[in-house]
Amino acid sequence: MEIEVPNSYATGWYQIGWSRELDAGDVKPVRYFDQDLVMFRGESGAVRVLSAHCAHLGANLGYGGTVAGDDIICPFHGWRWSHEGQNVDIPYADRTQRNRKLACSAVRETHGIIWMWYDQDRGAPEWDPPFVPEYDSGEFSTIRIEEATMTWRSLRLRPQWVIENVVDAVHLEWVHKYKYPCRIESYGPEGTMFRSSLSIPFPDDPDNRVMVSFDNSVWGVGTVVVRGQGQKGRSIHIQSATPVDSEHSDFFAAAAFRSDVSEDTSTDTELSEAALRNVDVLRDNLEADIVIWQQMEYIQRPPLTAYEAKPYFAMRRWSREFYPEVKAGT
């Protein structure tokens, strides 16, 4: 069976930044989905994203724009735009241009991550952004600190390449140098989420009797949440790829860790050090993936082995439904 994946922008939630990097009143130019956007945090604390170019004479609001309340003011002629993109004031005119509007994107924040909903047809969000309840339980080290988060800008990759890793056990042995055999235990779609479970022999067990498990949740085409279980603790990784244009994406990652060692033998310092080691392992693994992604060519009709075919085709069949041309039946 051959299942081709479109080379367009899939509908869904995408990470566009870290909450800690945008204070109240801050304005930041960003570019995603081949569009200039402006992201700002209003005085209420909510983050807003609008199309960047003022509908008056085209100035980019991300460069010199200022926040007033929850609105943004153009640096060129002072036109004021509401958080919904409506023109609400022209300082030298008696009336506003109510028929002039900037495109507005839905934005949410969870776990210190700023998410934006993308839909080619500007439709409203169809599901909630990625949510990891363990992060709010207090049981895991936080991902809100800078040491636990990573950002790579404008890499040559597509989000589709990232999510397909969750059905690829063989690459764990070759790219990440895990012991043989790495196995896919289960996989399949659950609505707007795709899940897979992998098991990997523990590095220090010569008889392969102790396994490390990874349970993966793919949220649309933009984000993967990985829950790991090892001998000494549990980890959670969030990986997000957001298209800048048709060839490049920004790539974000965050890690959190919980030690299963008893409180009698583990100190806060040891837990912190273990969490940071977990972050270092994640960074090394992702950078090994990035080397491959940056140089690869996506094969629409790969000659897959019998072992690879079923999980790969299940992933591609599920992910196709998020692309606009497939959703429209064209």
Domain-by-domain residue ranges, the chain?
12-118, 133-325
CA distance 254 to 112: 10
The pLDDT assigned to 270 comes to: 47
How many residues appear in the chain?
A: 330
Rg (C-alpha) for the chain, rounded Å, is 22
The pLDDT assigned to 189 comes to: 97
The pLDDT assigned to 311 comes to: 96
Helices (H) and strands (E) in the chain, counts: 5, 18
Surface-to-core class of residue 202, CB atoms within 10 Å of its CB (0-12 exposed, 13-18 middle, 19+ buried): middle
The pLDDT assigned to 261 comes to: 56
Query: What kind and span of H or E run contains 65?
Result: none
The pLDDT assigned to 144 comes to: 62
Longest Cα–Cα distance in the chain: 80
Q: Show the CA angle centred on residue 225, arms to residues 223 and 229, nearest 5°.
A: 160
CA distance 46 to 27: 12
Yes or no: is domain 12-118 CATH 3.40.50.720? Answer: no
Distances (CA, A) of 255 to 111, 241, 247: 11, 15, 26
The pLDDT assigned to 328 comes to: 75
By the 8 A CB rule, do 182 and 172 touch?
yes
By the 8 A CB rule, do 174 and 330 touch?
no
| Amino acid identity for residue 279 in this structure | V
pLDDT by residue for the chain (330 residues), tens digit each?
557 899 899 999 999 999 999 999 999 999 999 999 999 999 999 999 999 999 999 999 999 999 999 999 999 999 999 999 999 999 999 999 988 899 999 999 998 999 999 999 999 999 999 999 887 777 777 666 677 899 999 999 999 999 999 999 999 999 998 877 888 999 999 999 999 999 988 665 555 555 688 999 999 999 999 998 876 678 899 999 999 999 999 999 998 888 765 544 444 444 467 677 778 888 999 999 999 999 999 999 999 999 999 999 999 999 999 999 887 776
Q: Which residues pair with 233 in a beta bridge?
A: 259
Query: Considering only the top CATH level, what class is 133-325?
Result: alpha beta
Rounded to 10 degrees, the C-alpha dihedral 31/249/229/211 comes to: 180
The pLDDT assigned to 268 comes to: 47
Among candidate residues 145, 184, 159, the one with its CA nearest the CA of residue 289: 159
Neighbour tally for 146: CB within 10 Å: 9
Q: Which residue has the tokens 């392969």?
A: 208
